[in-house]
Structure 1
Amino acid sequence: MPYPITITQTDRKKEKPDSSCLGFGRYFTDHMFVMDYSAEIGWHDPRIVPYAPLALDPAALVLHYGQAIFEGMKAYRTSDDRILLFRPEKNAQRLNLSAARLSMPSIDEELFLEALRTLISLEKDWVPRERGTSLYIRPFMFATEPYLGVRASESYKLVIVLSPVGAYYAGGMKPVKIHVESRYVRAVRGGTGFAKVSGNYAASLKAQEDAHAKGYEQVLWLDAIENKYIEEVGSMNVFFKINGEVWTPPLHGSILGGITRDSVIHLLRDWGIPVREEKLSMEDLYVAYTRGELEEAFGTGTAAVVSPIGVLGWNDHHMVINHEQIGELTAKLYGTLTGIQYGEIADPYGWIVEVE
């Protein structure tokens, strides 16, 4: 490690919120990790410091041209009080993939993982204890150079903040209603859709608001060229069980390579369930629905892990999937993944990393 991680602890610790009212992303721990980059010396000064506002020049390139990326992951507390991470090396790899797409510097992945372990170990009392709760981890990188020309920045900051979050299904798992978006598009091949770029999410907000106004909870995005092939659901990858096979869109450049998506595919194939990573049009999905072959649908992502889909609204069609009940396969995937994440069942894949 070229630079040791220095630690400056706060002398004013916050009162921890009650775990019954955590919500998502509302509370933050006492400390954060920060590291700086300059073109002259590269990444330097990795440090853990008290959580506080960041100083930023008004001309910082991130504010004008949007060089910003992030990751999302969680730490889980087991019943025997261990702290576990789920496939954190994949988040490190994807952060570098996103950085490369936005002409940002790569980070040493071992240093990134060491920063995670050190910060979470320091803040381990913030990992909530109730089943379903967790400590959400948000690493993010952004351009800091003050300059008003359109080019890549020569300085950056990497920050990791932590937030205790409540159970995603606090009232029990319920299938969601999804609006199939036909006006706006999320990403195009050759763009930034495969990377976790902040601007991707800003561009999705209008469609999300419109869907909410129509009574839907999420948006299903279609491809940007023909506006017919299924891509993603909101911030999740999407799967459909059709006539005994599971379909999910391929990673062809406009879809985020979800870590939960990859884990689900591993599980399905181990269980002997056929998985087809192939293009699937809404027309073909609707035909399968009318034939009674669309058995289950679900999204996958860090926040929900597995989110069952009960209704798809497409044009004038109201597609009710599995009587708006949670499918058997959906429930099995959710139970297996969360069981591994909370250390309740064996991890045969080496996905779990324990924080000492």
Structure 2
Amino acid sequence: MFTRGSLTSTILSLMLVVILLSSSLAVFSIVSLTFSLGDARGINASGSLRMQSYRLLLDANIGSHNIDEKIADFETTLNSEALKRSLAWYSPKEMRDQYVLVIHKWQVMKVYIEEGNIRLYSASLTDFVNTIDTLVLNMEQFAAFKLKLLVIGQIIGLSILLIIAFFAVAFTRKRVVKPLQLLIESSTTISKGNFKVKMPKTDYIELTALGNALQKTAAELASLYEDLENQVNEKTLALTRTNNELKFLYDNLVMLHANKLDYKALQSAINQLKYYESLSYLRLVIEHDDGSKDIIKAEGGWPDELPIESLHFPLLIEKTQLGYLDVIS
């Protein structure tokens, strides 16, 4: 019987695949969330740059004395870790370039505000704010992309898990459940006394061992049952033969002790004797006092030429010989 391998190893391998895939999904989710940390702070910081740009223009127009402090706050926000993440290796090139462009334009805007050139600062503010807005848009799109990537990854992973689960169920039904059902049916057949059953072929060592054990048990039970049946038949035949012989002896004993011999009964008796003893030829020779003889032949007669020498068994009643039996076996 062909076996593919261990069922335990197959199930373990399948479980390891499921565990590995589940772990991969978990790791992918954690990594995606890790890369997404700080996206909200970055978007808020970039949006704050726009408000601070307008605030600088307002402070410059009113001649505020803390303009340098406002510039320092702007640069702190611009160089914050939340925005510097835009330069990370995994960030899109467009977003990295946009962040660098904001820094370059700020250097120009900073010169304008430090020199008190409100006109040039105001004229360049719209373009500068648009550049910041583009950076905000890029950051929002990248954050949305990472979220979509996470969702798609989860959907794909769950789909693969469902497919594996489907094939696992189909595999179990075909390779495990069905052979087990066939083995159960075979064992039920054996329990009903039909030992000539053929165990189903299976692909795995455990099921094959179970099938072989049932096959061996069925063969041993068949042998024992056959031996028992033969013994019962032999005992039945022996009892029947003994019963018939006793009946034969009793009937003939009654007949021989009768006042007058019944030749028909004697004919029946030697026929039965020939049958019971499986003799080839049999005859009864009765000798009378005047020297005459009566010969009673069993069914099949008596051969004219004897193939072998016959056996003579004297017929004695109270030590008086009344004749003899001629037997050819």
Classify the TM-score, shorter chain: under 0.3
Task: Point out the structure with max Rg over C-alpha.
Answer: 2
More helix by share: 2
Return the structure number with greater relative CO, CA threshold 8 A, min gap 6: 1
Give the TM-score of the pair, scaled to structure 1: 0.16
Give the TM-score of the pair, scaled to structure 2: 0.17
More strand by share: 1
